[in-house]
Amino acid sequence: MRILTLLLTLATFAAVAPAQSAKARNNMIREVRHELLMLPYYGVFDDLSFRVDGYTVTLTGYVTQPVLKSDAGNVVKGVEGVEKVVNEIVVLPPSPMDDRIRRATYRAIYGAPELDRYGLQAVPSIHIIVNNGKVILVGVVDNQTDKNVAGLKANGVSGVFSVDNQLRVTAGTQK
């Protein structure tokens, strides 16, 4: 009888433990996302993303300032549940030509009447990454038309060699 009670207790604990770890994982993901968004130098010309594997957080993306890479790693280390941070963020090389393309692409996208609403957020949802004249658009838009317009606007900027439109359309609004 004691063995049966012990087995039932262990089975109950095993069933409850994954739900608790899933909740802890979701809290950790939410906190990591929040900490990255709150970084003071994070802006429209940067892209920070991450993945969680157990207690390890891997940071990826592109930044224009080296301090943003180190700050991202430092704030994530302080999140409860994170035991290890792998910082794979790429610091874009300084380039006056890329800076000009960033500004021109920003004006082309956020100056378009059909896209200007995306620029009204604290951190705009369309991020513009420029590396050696190549533009990558990342972030989220409401529909496929907005994604296409953003790509066309970026492609029309003088000096742009190519545009990789990685914008995602939010779920539920695809038509």
Q: What is the per-residue pLDDT for 123?
A: 80
Tell me the pLDDT of the chain (175 aa) as tens digits: 444 333 334 444 444 444 447 888 899 999 999 999 999 999 999 999 999 999 999 999 999 999 999 999 999 999 999 999 999 999 999 999 999 999 999 999 999 999 999 998 878 999 999 999 999 999 999 999 999 999 999 999 999 999 999 999 996 544 4
Domains recognised in the chain with CATH numbers: 2-91 (3.30.70), 96-169 (3.30.1340.30)
Q: Hey, is 105 helix, strand or coil? A: helix
Q: Where are the alpha helices (DSSP H) in the chain?
A: 2-37, 66-77, 96-110, 144-155
Using the structure block, give the residue that is written with the tokens 């941070």.
85
Only one residue has tokens 């006056």, namely: 96
Q: Is the CB of residue 46 less than 8 Å from the CB of residue 93?
A: no
Per-residue confidence (pLDDT) for residue 19, from 0 to 100: 45
